[in-house]
Structures are given as structure tokens and as C-alpha cells.
Chains A and B, each alone.
Chain A
Amino acid sequence: MTTPDTTAPETTAPDMTTAPADTTTVPAAAALALGDDALVLSHRLGEWAGHAPVLEEEVALANIALDLLGQARVLLSMAGDEDDLAYLREERAFRNLQLVEQPNGDFAHTIARQLYFSTYQHLLYDRLAAGDGPFAGLAAKAVKEVAYHRDHAEQWTLRLGDGTEISRERMRRACEALWRFTGEMFQPVDGVDVDWAGMEAAWLESVGQVLRRVTLSVPEGPRTGAWSAGAGRQGLHTEPFGRMLAEMQHLHRSHPGASW
């Protein structure tokens, strides 16, 4: 299960017309991939503002979104101008995982997306922080923030999975629905020097442990291969992403240079 998906389109060099890469030390394509993950998920979580089930979650999701936005700003600035990259790129130039662009769905879907992604991001930043590469500084800072995101998602997975019949069924459905997007997280990103296979094993172990604790079974659907999803790193995105971008970029494109 740790074999990279050979059917996915081959990773190409970043599109230089949209991602200026002038630096020799920072792998711009990698900064873009990790930065886009943080930016897109931040925007999705921000969509909960005013709609979260309880006030504490309103605050929690907004805070998590803010942490991710901060990470995105640092990462995108490594790849070029943060505002141009966020607001002026077309859909195909984004390099985020398809997982993070998935719509919020019900609260359980958001929590499942958080569980899958924050576990991945925590494992990744932890490894990057331990190295001395270009992302070590950011990773050392962000890994502690993400530890709280991961804890938040795990606690809610346990609470919903162990709650009422309805909450449990919704949690199960959400974990199943997003499972096919999780294989993409472990396709190696050029310029990110970590043991991807080892990280995937750690991720499966951790997510599996959380699910089993509330006797939810680990989804059995495919994570790689023909019936899985995930070519976001190559610029291929799912249908809802275009609409999300339209909303995210609308103000800046209509009023260039607008500020608060």
C-alpha cells in the first residue's frame, strides 16, 4: 500500500509562468505544494464562520484556519508573491491535495478531513523540523500549532464516533467518503526530503488507532490506483474547487489592490 500510484500523471516541473521561482535554495515547487494545502484548507475552514454547530467550534475552526493561513503566507512567499499566487492563479496552477479542497459537507465530513490532513501535516512537519532543509524553520514553528489541530480532530472523531447512532453513522460515512483522497498525501513531493513510505505507515497506524478506539472500522476502499482520487499535485482538481476559487479570488480580481 506504500507503492506510489503509477497511473497518476507524471509530476512535471512547476508552471513557471504562474509560479516565479528565482531562488536557488528553496524548492519553489515544494513550497507551492505545501503552501497551497494550507491556503486552500484555511479557506474551506473559514467557510464555517457563522455556521458552526456551537460557539466553541466557531472559534476553534477559525483559529485553525488562521494558523493555516499563517503557514500559507510563509510558504507562498518562498515561492513568489503571496498575493499574486493566492489570488491570480488559475485552478490548474494550484498544487494542493484534492483532499483539502473537498467541500465542508456536514460537521463530520469536516472533522474527517481534519483528522486525515492534520495527522499527515503533523507527521510531515515533525520530520521537516528535525532536518536542516529550507522548511525546517517553518516546520519547527508550525508543528506545535498543528499538534493542537490534530488533537482537536481526534477528540471530535472519538466524540462523534462514540456519540449517538446518528453522529456515529455520519462519522463513519465521512471517513469512508474521504478515504480515496488520502493516498495522494504520500506521493513524494520533489524537494521535500522525508521518508514518505515511513510516514504513510505512521499515518495509517495513527488514524487506524483513533478509529478503532470507537470501533469504527478503517475504510477498506482504495487509496491508490484506478478507483482512488488525487492528482492535485499535478494541477488536476475536483469540480467544487473552481467555485471555491471564484469566491476566494473574486474580491481581489474585481478590485485589484483592495485592502482593509
Chain B
Amino acid sequence: MVTVTPLEAELLELAGSVPDPELPVLTLRELGVLRAVRLRDAGTAEVELTPTYTGCPAVEAMALDIERVLHEHGIREVTVRTVLSPAWTTDDITEEGRRKLREFGIAPPRTRHEHGPVTVALGPTRTAVSGPDRTTGPSAPELEPVRCPHCGSADTELLSRFSSTACKALRRCLACREPFDHFKEL
């Protein structure tokens, strides 16, 4: 394990405080995409960032924001490297991050404790949740139902596996009838 200097820890904290460009309620730290900040020398830092999805277009905006924040704190040269491995999963979103997502009207991803093969459920395209949840795409059947972030009901249905961004699915609450985004488990 590489030791982290107090200054590096401080810079990691700073970079981690940058808001996500697409979900500004979350910081990069809460999203869990910031892997490390290393100082090469007093004025040069290398930042490791991991994308949520390989094609996530927000990565470039994140990198620019991190560079700006670190420049403002006296680091002349900042290099942001994208690392793929180990792959980011929605389990990397912090508890605080999940709470903020819910308050923002987005159902947070459910947590998984096993990382086995992904099961693909076969079923009709649009169904309400009843019995095992087979409506969230390739998610493990032992997951709890997706709850409406507005009223808390577990009675929700999938409208579309894909939504405004690659990381979300579109669902509707059958209790309060509100549509909402669900941060898909990855």
C-alpha cells in the first residue's frame, strides 16, 4: 500500500468536493469515482479518476473541474488519468450519496453484496413489480424492490431500461403515479 501524505489527503479531499457535472447534488467523493491523488513534486499532481460507464461523457468535465480546483490551491501541473480497473460499481456510492440522490428525486441503486455472474431475466417488457422483481433488467433477483423516491412506495414499475443518462432507468410509482429516475445497479 502506498502511503498518502497529509497534503495528498488534503488534495484528495479538495478534488472529492467537486460536484458531479450531471448530478450536481453529489460530489465526486460521494459518487466514488475518485481513486487517488499523488504528488510528483510540490507543484505536480496526478489524479486517478474512474468512469461510471466507459462512454460517460461527464468524465471530461470532471477532469477539467478537478484541474481548476487543484490549480486554485497552488498545484501548477495537474494530470487526470482515467483508470478502468478495478471497475466502478454502484456499490461505490456512499451512504450520504444515496441519501442525497433520494432527496433529489432519484431512486438510488440498491446494494449488492455478491459479484457473481449477471442473471438476465426474461419477461414481458412492461410489468409491475409483483413477486420477484424482474423489471430492472439484469439485476439479481434477491434485490429489494425499487422504492419511489417521492412517496417511498415499493409498488413501482419499469417504463424504460434507459433514461436521461446511461446510468439511469425510467420508472413510475404506482402509488403516487409520479415517474422517476432510478440509478441502475452496475
Binds B, one of A92-100, A136-144, A192-200, A226-234: A136-144
Q: Is the CB of A138 within 8 A of B84?
A: yes
Contact with A along B90-129 (1 / 0, CB 8 A): 0000000000000000000000000001101111110000
Q: Is the CB of A126 within 8 A of B84?
A: no
Partner of A144, one of B51, B118, B123, B170: B118
Contact with A along B75-87 (1 / 0, CB 8 A): 0000000001111
Q: Which of A52-93 contact B (CB under 8 A)?
A: 56, 59-60, 62-64, 66-71, 73-74
Bound: A60/B161 CA distance, A: 7
Flag whether B141 is at the interface (Cβ < 8 A): no
Residues of B contacting A: mostly: loop
Q: Is the CB of B164 within 8 A of A155?
A: no
Q: Which of B127-167 contact A (CB under 8 A)?
A: 137-138, 159-166
Q: Is the CB of A56 within 8 A of B162?
A: yes
**A158 with B124: in contact, given A56-B170, A66-B55, A148-B161 (CB under 8 Å)?**
yes
- Chain B residues near A148: list those with CB within 8 A: 137-138, 161-162, 184
- Interface size class on chain B is 20 to 34
Residues of A contacting B: mostly: helix
Q: How many A-B residue pairs have CB under 8 A?
A: 102
Q: Is the CB of A158 within 8 A of B122?
A: yes
A–B pairs, 17, beta carbons within 8 Å:
A63-B163, A64-B162, A71-B54, A137-B85, A138-B54, A140-B85, A141-B88, A144-B87, A145-B166, A147-B137, A148-B137, A148-B138, A148-B162, A148-B184, A150-B138, A151-B121, A154-B120
A residues near B, CB below 8 A?
Answer: 56, 59-60, 62-64, 66-71, 73-74, 126, 136-138, 140-145, 147-148, 150-152, 154-156, 158-159, 210, 213
